[in-house]
Amino acid sequence: MRAEIRVLVPAGKVTPANLGQAVGMAGLNIGKVVADINNATKKYEGMKMPVTISYDVKTKKYEIIVSLPPTSQLLLKAAGVSKAVAPDDEAPAADLTLEQVVGVVKEKSEVFKNLKKGVLQVLGTCVSMGFTVDGKDPREVQEEVRSGEHDSKLS
């Protein structure tokens, strides 16, 4: 019989405390689980990552399944800031380039099958996080993308 433990952890910096009692109560080697999660998530260090530990209840063999980080986390990393601001704040949280937005979409290519649609969606996330893109309101950049103005960057 298989069971799962789902956690949101700091990538590359997991400690036993981040996993709570669930891993110990499951009878898994917490030190090995921590090391395996840190190894699997080190690429995203500094972000919160959704991780699933799928294990066999009897044999205690487990598999670490790392989900893609939330789009908001990738945008924060790309912007080099630790938090967003309300969209109506005076100053934006950060200014991204369209190329950075495209990079986030490509990083989540499993989710965004169509680059242009993915860019439009991530630009929408930029609105809610209080970011500007190329010095503009992301909604303005969305209109430019819809009109084909950036097609050369999205091919």
d(CA 122, CA 128): 10
Judge contact between 96 and 108, C-beta under 8 A. no
- pLDDT higher than 90, residue 96: yes
Q: What is the fold, at CATH topology level, of the domain defined by 2-66?
A: Ribosomal protein L11, N-terminal domain (3.30.1550)
Q: Please list the residues that pair with 93 across neighbouring strands.
A: none
Q: What is the pLDDT of residue 90?
A: 72
> What is the pTM for the complete model shown?
0.75
Give me the residue spans of the domains in the chain: 2-66, 71-154
Judge contact between 141 and 134, C-beta under 8 A. yes
Q: Which pair of tokens denotes residue 141?
A: 């950049």
Give the best-scoring range by mean pLDDT among 78-82, 84-88, 147-151: 147-151
The CATH class for the domain spanning 71-154 reads mainly alpha
Q: Please list the residues that pair with 51 across neighbouring strands.
A: 7, 66
Question: 2-66 and 71-154 share one CATH topology?
Answer: no
Q: What is the pLDDT of residue 89?
A: 66
Number of neighbours of residue 37 by Cβ within 10 angstroms: 24
Residue type at 14 in one-letter notation: V
